[in-house]
A = this chain, B = another copy of it.
Amino acid sequence: MATQARPTGASEEIQDALQRLFSLDSELYRGRGFLERRIGFGRRPAVVVIDLANMWTQSGSPFSCEGVDELIANVNRLLARARAKSVPVVFTTMGYEVTEGPNSDAGLYRHKLPMELFKLGSPDIDVDERLERRPNEQLIVKKRASAFHGTYLSGFLRSIDVDTVIITGVTASGCVRNTTEDAINEGFRPIVVRECIGDRIPGAVEWNLFDIDAKFGDVEPIDKVLGYLEALPASADR
């Protein structure tokens, strides 16, 4: 895995302790033969941008994340390269048809989180305009954490012959992790871009990317992913 960035917002002492815990755990894993294999990049990638909508990217909402400006700048570097190579791009957001009462499509999540804020039609759930979504780029309005669960994402990606999913967005502890797990479960190679993943609480990016890299997908630095996209053959030849 790429060198761990440190959890911002926690003291140096806590940060150090967390790093020592990951070192201890990595050592145990390596003694068992884990952390030695990579899934690797495939032949035809798609980029998935998870929940970089205003509810998460603008300040003042319960769902606002940390470090979003830098995150969006990083995702935009990736998108520029992907679009230049005609790599499909999929955005996600969350939104509900019925936000109150017994027929709410928020399901059981509304018993856990303030999901009533995600009203279909509200600008709060629009993709952050800094990402400049294009008309031929899918927008999946999901109801659950995973971009795959209860959506047409896996069927869509298979129908256009995608085998690799490059994952970016927020949050590490919620939608990003659940999407990554579903990606490998559905048979797609998950590549999680270290500098393109955020959260709202200190430590959550770190411990979730640790688990993901050990079990569910390859966590890679953005430069490596940019290099992979750069080296891709033209769309028709891959």
Are the C-beta atoms of B185 and A150 separated by less than 8 Å?
yes
Residue in chain B with minimal CB distance to A149: B185
Are the C-beta atoms of B202 and A25 separated by less than 8 Å?
yes
Stretch from A68-76, A157-165, A226-234 forming part of the interface with B: A157-165
Hey, which chain B residues are within 8 Å of A107, CB to CB? Answer: 152, 155-156, 159-160, 184, 187
Task: Answer yes or no: A200 CB below 8 A from chain B CBs.
Answer: yes
Hey, which chain B residues are within 8 Å of A37, CB to CB? Answer: 111-113
Are the C-beta atoms of B174 and A105 separated by less than 8 Å?
no
Hey, which chain B residues are within 8 Å of A182, CB to CB? Answer: 149
**Given pairs A107-B160, A173-B214, A178-B185, 8 additional interface contacts (CB within 8 A):** A14-B21, A16-B17, A43-B161, A107-B152, A108-B159, A108-B184, A150-B185, A173-B211
Residues of chain A at the chain B interface (Cβ within 8 Å):
7, 9-10, 13-14, 16-18, 20-21, 24-25, 28-29, 32-34, 37-40, 43, 62-63, 86, 88, 97-98, 101-103, 105, 107-109, 111-114, 135-139, 143-146, 149-161, 163, 173-174, 177-178, 181-182, 184-189, 200-204, 207-208, 211, 214-216, 235
